[in-house]
Structure 1
């Protein structure tokens, strides 16, 4: 039986996709959907404000609630995370179609010790829109909290446990991979030589003078525009960049770019999880898989944050040379865009 409790492989895939999108949905919720003053603390007290926001999005009780509507999708993620924080348990997926969902919908399974049914989050949102009392989410949280209190009275010391989905567990691995540790040590040791090489390639640089290196390459977000100019001058396109992926120069750019993110954003760590695009074990060494764009390279991530991001610096460098995105929309990528992927 899969984690969806329905023995449905397709539903398990949908759940994995949902879990993978949680950090981005939370960042989008905070940055673009909710008002600036929203108490984004994953506490029960924030649920009334969340429900009020949805009522503003759905102005009529008769409106059809849709999971693919951005405010609904993002709010459902936040609501589920709050309920998990109260009653423990795990995310699940119900493959049975509900109004507003063509692929089933997410549910939250409270800690099994509570003996409660799964919480159908989309149904909860639909009820909130229908009754418009601004207390549906708060009442659900209160009922869950009461169940936890009763369970603790029967078994002092008991506490609900959140069980991460395997997709969430993957986000927390790879920081101590031996090959990553060796690579990071090497990049630190070779940074001065790398910076001098970059300065030689940068006609706007200060002639590569060692005494100016700390000012030019200070790991600030502003230094990424200078680095971008160097990359664009050195490589004609993404093909030329990828052909040089194993070169120390390119690896130095990957490290510098990742270090800028690590120092500019909270909780960022380096990770290395050697894999292919099909999640099969990667046999080639770091930076040496000819048929992989970036999955054989390190990434930076915020595994400790609910809305934490992750990115492969090598992928950001590759996209730098694109003129259109995956669906042929014109784009104007910048190296500094990588910072937007993080909370």
Structure 2
């Protein structure tokens, strides 16, 4: 019996949930959160590139990653899954406009090996959604079907403040990076710490000014971005110790910081790294210090 587009779509929708559950098992312990964010796309593309250095992707991985990529794009662009009869593959038909074929994008990432293929597509869909909002007052992207990724409790429960802060920073990353004027360079690679330092040093002339503006979106976004680069490339994890009275002299108390799990592993307090950056005489300072992170 010939498979129809309806059959293909039904099969895909039946299997995408279990595939994404398996993808969650793959990233347990890596620090990756499958929250449909651009950061998670960077993380997964990095994992894929590491796995395919000397071999083809394992069976089923392309489909699982394609499913996650499609879900991430449907989250920011709205719409629903459909089926392309010509290619015999699932496609994401976006409320923001256009259709995306996630599986070819997964293979494109393996071919190009830039680590930014999926984030670039995410940025494109975000721009399409922004254009729809500008043209149609009150429009917001909406799923026309149910999201396929089940939620799961954190393996290591975090402080509630840190959980809220990380969620806010992830959600505001696209707007924050656009505000820097260097969005295309801020791709979570170690090299991107140079444009990050340039932005901070240009807009904040001294450590005193940094202290005065520490709660501003520019600084909070820079703190998060710097920590995320360490999380992605140095297997660090976010930490936070509350300071209820505001009296602790420990520099890691009352501030989000990152540390590796291994005994003797490195740690860093991003806010203090920015303090060093604005006092330094080179835009390479954050990259140089990152290179020393074990």
Instruction: Tell me the TM-score normalised to structure 2 length.
Output: 0.47
Q: Which has the larger radius of gyration?
A: 1
- TM norm structure 1: 0.40
